[in-house]
Amino acid sequence: MNKKIDKRKIIAAIVVIILSIAGAIWGITYTDEEVNSIINGVETVANIIEDNISTTEIPELKQEDEQVLEVQETNLENEAFERQGEVAYNGSDKAPVVQVGEYKGLTYYSQADSRWANHMYSAIKDKSQTIEQSGCGPTAAAMVVSSIKGAITPDKMGDLFVKYGYRSTNNGTYFSAMKWVADAFDIGYKETYSLDTAVSLLKQNYYVIVSCNEGLFTYGGHFIVLVGVDNDTLRVFDSYLYSGKFTTSSRKKANVKVEGNNVYVSVSNFKKYANATKFYCYKNDRTDTKDNDNTVTTKPNTSSNVKTVNYKVKVTAKLGLNARTGAGTNYSIKTAYTYNTTLKIVAESNGWGKTDKGYWVCLTYTKKVTSTTSTSKTMTVIAKLGLNARSGPGTNYKIKTAYPYKTKLTIISTSGNWGKTNKGYYVCLTYLK
């Protein structure tokens, strides 16, 4: 953080000196807004050059953090989504000339990298839509371009996708952005639905972006990058790689191996578990290709969007409540709970709760169960006309007996404003002292 602050101060000082000299020679004056705009422009160029390195810190995230990401649309049967992306592609002007930084070899980027994790990636100016939460598309594209042409970081690629219409409102990146990347950066390009064809192209020095549905790499939808194949083993760059991602029970069966920021999985297990839908293939025609040999460390997570909790709720939806693989309606439905079912909630995020069974439910359609506090004390009835004792903690429960004025009762537990006696009945604590 301090490094970035100091760098901006240096840039600002240099810009002010240059503008002052220009003002003295040519009589030009600049407003504060114009000066800040120039400083920002210089800093952006500096950042492109400085950030021309792979992400070297893998975050210590949790499964829950992955399950609250915005779902990247990857279902190619969604004709409306695909059609809207084609509108953006066919309606775009000639591909822009984009300046990239120095080529430094095969480049890995993480969405959660602090350099751009909180950078807004939104077509509707929604600050909660960031590179970390929504940006697997531009991050995958940035990895490919940086590994073939020269450095461009995920935040810069994300800005381009927004500017040229390839960012959807709430479902990630349009598929057509992938062929636009080939146009904009002048890279040889092929598309295929066949993993076998993609593997063949990998052997011909292509890099391949893959759209994946729920499976080995995602709970909702995700873009990953295939960067190599050795015999029957694929080398994968997963922009949402985190410590322990492939140790969950549902992912262990794929026998994935992680080394640094590299994920290795057999072609057969990829075919079985990745749930890949389409392959976007980019030709690397460089003769000076360099491998990624940066040392990777694990970084503690300090910005989780998930809160750990421990309480119970009852389903209030009369028609039942869907339980999903993640915190949002775009995640797939795994089961449903009937009205009045009691659920244990172990995590929360944006109005959704994760049950102890691993599924997520919308908390709007539930009611928290009042916790019961254990007590053990003697109390006296102060109601002059006596006090009804009921079968449960509320006036809607049946009256089982009644206690006269000044009767001493042993209360063994409380639930809200009701106490349970050692006889098993409930009495209103308002009428006890």
Q: What residue ranges in 325-396 does DSSP mark as E strands?
A: 333-337, 342-349, 352-355, 360-362, 366-368, 372-380, 387-390
Residue 193 has pLDDT above 90, yes or no: yes
pTM of the model: 0.75
Instruction: List, in sequence order, every residue forming a beta bridge with 421; answer none if it has no partner.
Output: 411
Residue 205 has pLDDT above 60, yes or no: yes
Domain 372-431, architecture per CATH: Roll (2.30)
DSSP code of residue 369: P
| Residue 191: other Cβ atoms inside 10 A | 14
If you average pLDDT over every residue of the chain, what do you get?
Answer: 88
Helices 136-148 and 154-163 sit at what angle, rounded to 10 degrees?
110
DSSP code of residue 171: S
| DSSP codes joined into one string, 140-160 | HHHHHHHHHT----HHHHHHH
Burial (CB count <10 Å: 0-12, 13-18, 19+), residue 308: exposed
Q: How distant is the alpha carbon of residue 224 from its chain centre?
A: 14
Confidence of residue 42 (pLDDT cuts 50, 70, 90): low
∠ Cα 224 260 308 (to 5°): 75
- Tell me the three state secondary structure of residue 243: coil
Model confidence over 348-374: pLDDT tens digits? 999 999 999 999 999 999 999 876 555
User: Residue 150 — left, alpha, or beta (φ > 0 → left; ψ -120 to 50 → alpha)?
Assistant: left
Q: How distant is the alpha carbon of residue 52 from its chain centre?
A: 24
Residues 299 and 110: beta-carbon distance below 8 Å: no
Evaluated on CA atoms 317, 319, 323, 328, the torsion sign reads: negative
Burial (CB count <10 Å: 0-12, 13-18, 19+), residue 135: buried
Note the pLDDT of residue 51.
47
Question: 52-91 burial, b if ≥16 CB within 10 A, otherwise e?
Answer: bbbbbebbebbbbbbbbbbbbbbeeeeeebbebbeebbee
Domain 54-300, architecture per CATH: Alpha-Beta Complex (3.90)
Residues 172 and 137: beta-carbon distance below 8 Å: yes
Please identify which residue in the block is written with the tokens 């794929």. 254
Alpha helix locations (H) across 92-204? Answer: 131-134, 136-148, 154-163, 177-184, 195-202
Model confidence over 72-91: pLDDT tens digits? 999 888 888 888 888 888 87
What lies within 8 Å, CB to CB, of 40 at 6+ separation is none
Quote the CATH superfamily of domain 307-368.
SH3 Domains (2.30.30.40)
Note the pLDDT of residue 22.
65
Note the pLDDT of residue 290.
85
Note the pLDDT of residue 144.
98
